[in-house]
Amino acid sequence: MLTMTSTLERAARTFGARPAIADARTSSTWAEHTSRVRRAAAILQSHGLQPGDRFAVMGLNSHLYSEILHAGYWAGLVPVPINHRLAPPEIRQIVDDAGCKLLAHCNAFAKVLATPELARLKLQPLNLESDYERRLTQTEPLAAHDARPDDLALLLFTGGTTGRSKGVCLSHGNIVSNAMQVALAMRATQDDRFLHAAPMFHAADLLGNAFTLVGGSHAYLPTFSGDGALAALRDRQVTVAMLAPTMIIMILQQPNLANYDLASLRLIFYGSSPIDAAWVRRAMTAFPGVDLQHNYGLTETSPILTAVDPAEVRAIFAGGNEAILLSAGRPLAGVDLTIRDDDGNDLAPGEVGEVVVRGPNVAMGYFNRPDETAAAFRDGWFHTGDMGRLDDNGLLFLVDRKKDMVITGGENVYTTEVEAAIYLHPNVQEAAVIGVPDEKYGEALFAVVVPVPGKAISIDDIVEHCRGRIGAYKIPRRGDIVTELPKSAMGKILKNELRRIYAGRETKF
């Protein structure tokens, strides 16, 4: 069946003697890992949790995080991974919305339970690093809950980039379907080792399930840094890693990059936010023989919708078409994807509209949010809120978030296009373009730029640089120079936060 329970049972039965976990603290086979999962599930049940109940999880990437998630699936419970970078009031909102009865956590987050915001909730604590190992050895394994593909398996709260976080309801069938789709796209095998580099509270971590399906193994990076990622890739003999563009850039900026032996690495699967083609070119040079596979997806799609074929990209790029580096690829097997206008009409290739999708990996909706569910999930299709176009070969090119498009003087401007032009300036390290209120044009373009360390930028530099690259009406004449941009856990720039900061300001470069 398409359930995480049956996936784990199959891994133990079919790949029992093969390596499953390669953590800094421990290693185990699939048989050993599943045995621990069965006992961890019994521990969760001993706290009074019944099938369908939700429990929160807060920790750094590790085998223990995977273990408690799997234990939740095994017991018929619903894990609710918590972004540990959130403030206590934000954590309380998620825990409260989800109705969590227990918080499984690591030592680093034990103090969170004592904060006034969470103490009042009377959450049961389960410290995965204190007395947990003793309890495992003294607990009888639990029989697997008879889960169904349409049962709620996981509740992932969106990062709040569009306001108050909302819980995305992912079923067992959603998760396993996408694992199968991704495994096919990545050409996953039992000899692969996947590095959990993205925070495990993020939907990107679900990609690891593709390697569980085929009997591959898992390595974990507790916190991300450029040198830490390189060491993990080398020391754990990683073959596949999912990296956000920000992570790739941080790795490429390491001065000793060439000193790391990454002979085992075969694939970098990257996505979650745009990346300039210049950085892709640098990555292709820095990692010869490693495939770079751009993807696109959302939490609501478990999470991947499209992926490029690395061989096709190399061939087209070699022929002089650099635009291929910006393609998000074609829909995965089983995904229907179309581009529609505001009236719901399908658009022809080359026309820009909203990306609308359906497939077995599309979520059931939002937890206890019927109005928002009805708005986004309509007539069997999920409306992503992303703007894009398809070319004549069926390749998807993302243009912008629908809400990030700026209408200035009656002209539609896609901010990612403006950012791509700004990124070509040699003194620009990062850039984000937003719309701010303007009396004359309705909205004006506003650029927030992080310069390369030790370099300087002026408004004249940016305007002159953009002139001839994009239309004059697309060139921002207002902006700010900052040392860093607000970002989500996956390195996605939080434009809603920038809009809040700069609303009504007349800042110049």
What are 201-224's pLDDT values in tens digits?
999 999 999 999 999 999 999 999
pLDDT at 163 over 70: no
355 neighbors 387 (Cβ within 8 angstroms): yes
What is residue 415's predicted lDDT score, i.e. its pLDDT? Answer: 87
Q: What pLDDT digit, counting tens, does each position of 445-481 carry?
A: 999 999 999 999 987 888 899 988 888 889 998 999 9
**Model pTM score:** 0.86
The whole-angstrom separation of Cα 352 and Cα 339 is: 7
CA distance 74 to 65: 14
DSSP structural state of residue 85: T
Give the chain's length: 509
Classify 4-390 by CATH class: alpha beta
Question: What pLDDT, on a 0 to 100 scale, did the predictor assign at position 86?
Answer: 84
* Amino acid residing at 365: G
Q: What is the mean pLDDT of the chain?
A: 92
Are 444 and 478 in contact, with CB atoms under 8 Å apart? Answer: yes
What is each CA distance from 353 to 230, 344, 449, in whole angstroms?
39, 10, 28
Q: What residue segments make up the domains of the chain, in order of their start?
A: 4-390, 405-502
pLDDT value at residue 162: 42
User: If pLDDT is split at 50, 70 and 90, which confidence band does 434 have?
Assistant: very high
Q: Binning pLDDT at 50, 70 and 90, where does residue 45 land?
A: very high
* Domain 405-502: CATH superfamily, name plus number: ANL, C-terminal domain (3.30.300.30)
In the chain, the percentage of residues whose pLDDT exceeds 90 is 73
Lowest mean pLDDT across 82-91, 363-372, 391-400: 82-91
pLDDT of residue 465: 92
Task: Please give the helix or strand (H or E) that residue 188 lies within, else none.
Answer: none
Per-residue model confidence as pLDDT tens digits over 128-161: 999 999 999 999 999 999 999 999 999 999 854 4
User: Of 135, 118, 129, nearest to 56 (Cα)?
Assistant: 118
Torsion (CA) 68, 72, 74, 75 in degrees, nearest 10: 130
Residue 274: predicted pLDDT: 62
For 47-105, what is each residue's pLDDT tens digit? 999 999 999 999 999 999 999 999 999 999 999 999 888 888 889 999 999 999 999 99
Bridge-based pairing of strands 381-390 and 377-378 is antiparallel
pLDDT digits (tens, 9 = 90+) for 103-129: 999 998 988 888 888 888 888 999 999
Query: What is the rounded CA–CA span in Å between residue 457 and residue 509?
Result: 8
Give buried/exposed letters for 185-196 (b at 16+ CB in 10 A, else e): bbebeeebbbbb
Distance CA 419, CA 450 (A): 12
Burial class of residue 139 (count of CB atoms within 10 Å of its CB; 0-12, 13-18, 19+): middle
Torsions phi, psi for 308 (to 5 deg): -85, 160
